[in-house]
Amino acid sequence: MDLDLLQRTLAERGEPRFRARQVWEWVARGAESYEEMTNLPAALRAELAAAVPLSALALEREARARDGTEKALFRTADDRPLEAVLMRYRDGRRSVCLSSQSGCPLTCTFCATGAMRFGRNLTASEILEQALHFRRREAIDHVVFMGMGEPMLNLDAVLAACERLPDLGVSARRIAVSTVGWIPGIERLAGEGPPVRLALSLHAPEDALRSELMPVNERYPLGDVLAACRRWSQARRAPVFVEYLMLDGVNDRYEQAVALARLLGSDGAFKVNLIPYNPTEAGFAGSSRAAIDAFRSALGERGVMATVRLARGREIDAACGQLAARAEASAVTASP
């Protein structure tokens, strides 16, 4: 729902201010039509149905994997693609991965989104709408900003969405904002906004390799990024989650685990998630399970806590940007 449009429409009708909150409460609980909003006058419900669409995004495609992971590809009103993923876990958790931008201006070489054209920043309503899409079907309790885009480049809208996510059942501490190391955003997040968690996409333990994989490292080198993360950790009294994609023969060697452990230290400021790679067209292969386990052991022996994230939704292109990148590629192929 476009919340600005809702507020404008209600103000033009001279409705009291609490009406916007009433509508939002229904929407946040998963209402699928204005008809359900029984504490609103029938005439107002009909007018809102005509003037303010319940969804700010058009659903273009959905895919569901055998492990329960669901991915949705949407279009904004101005035809920008974006996607969101719902991950269902055996312990009952329901986590939604949200996009903050359509496309991404950063060009990480392993990432399908990075290979797409950058469209624009998403509005707070468009970000919330992705979560609402899944909330209309079932309760959700976790959100990660790890979909398309770099959240720190659209931090106002991301924070505005974070303020409202508790209404959908996702408390701030169950929201993780992931960055490639955009220092101004990390610094802002240390002192501003709800107490969300911070995740850092690191992927390499030294500058040369990191710059190759993530050109943003030229602008914000590893040492500066980790120092900013430490400051965030001290200010928020919480560890930073380090995301480390396991790329076969690229960043998964024993000596790289040793270097990573040395960089992060064992004071608990960082926790590592090792992520099996969902191959894209970028030409990388994922590390073997044995290589991932050995890497994790080398970190653990040096006092760095590491977990291995489950690979999810492989057969539905569940990695960042893959579905939208395919849709864009097919649109380009199909255009005259």
Cα radius of gyration rounded to whole Å, the chain: 21
> With respect to ligand SF4, which residue has the nearer C-beta, 48 or 87?
87
Alpha-carbon span 176 to 75, nearest angstrom: 24
- Our finding on whether 150 is near ligand SF4 (CB under 6 A) is yes
Alpha-carbon span 187 to 183, nearest angstrom: 6
Alpha-carbon span 236 to 265, nearest angstrom: 18
Q: Which two tokens stand for residue 119?
A: 């469209």
State which residue has the least CB distance to ligand SF4. Answer: 114
Contacts with ligand SF4, 285-324, as mask; x by CB under 6 A: -----------------------------------x----
Shortest Cβ 32–ligand SF4 spacing (Å): 30
Active-site pick, 97, 111, 162, 320: 320
Amino acid at 262: R
Shortest Cβ 130–ligand SF4 spacing (Å): 15
Shortest Cβ 31–ligand SF4 spacing (Å): 31
Residues 104-133 that bind ligand SF4 (CB under 6 A): 104, 106-108, 111, 113-114
Alpha-carbon span 62 to 64, nearest angstrom: 7
Shortest Cβ 110–ligand SF4 spacing (Å): 7
Residues 230-289 that bind ligand SF4 (CB under 6 A): none
Using CB under 6 A, pick the residue from 149, 169, 181, 185 that binds ligand SF4. 149
Q: Kindly indicate which of the ranges 5-13, 84-92, 143-151, 261-269 contains the residues binding ligand SF4, using the contact rule CB under 6 A.
A: 143-151
In sequence order, which ranges of 65-219 are alpha helices (DSSP H)?
A: 124-135, 155-164, 183-191, 207-213, 216-219
Could you list the beta-strand ranges (E) of the chain: 58-64, 70-75, 81-88, 94-97, 101-102, 120-121, 142-145, 175-179, 197-201, 240-246, 270-276, 306-308
> With respect to ligand SF4, which residue has the nearer C-beta, 148 or 260?
148
> With respect to ligand SF4, which residue has the nearer C-beta, 2 or 83?
83
* Active-site residue, 83 included: yes
CA dihedral of residues 144, 147, 153, 154 (deg, nearest 10): -70
* Active-site residue, 229 included: no
Active-site pick, 83, 126, 150, 328: 83
Shortest Cβ 148–ligand SF4 spacing (Å): 5
Cα–Cα nearest to 86, from 21, 157, 147: 147
Q: Kindly indicate which of the ranges 7-15, 22-30, 102-110, 183-191 contains the residues binding ligand SF4, using the contact rule CB under 6 A.
A: 102-110
Residue 70 burial (C-beta neighbours within 10 Å; 0-12, 13-18, 19+): buried
Using CB under 6 A, pick the residue from 140, 180, 200, 228 that binds ligand SF4. 180
Alpha-carbon span 81 to 245, nearest angstrom: 25
> What are the beta bridge partners of residue 198?
177
Using CB under 6 A, pick the residue from 65, 85, 148, 198 that binds ligand SF4. 148
Helix (H) or strand (E) holding 258: helix 254-264
Shortest Cβ 60–ligand SF4 spacing (Å): 19
> With respect to ligand SF4, which residue has the nearer C-beta, 180 or 196?
180
> With respect to ligand SF4, which residue has the nearer C-beta, 119 or 169?
119
Catalytically active residues, by annotation: 83, 320
Which residues are near ligand SF4 by CB under 6 A?
104, 106-108, 111, 113-114, 148-150, 180, 320
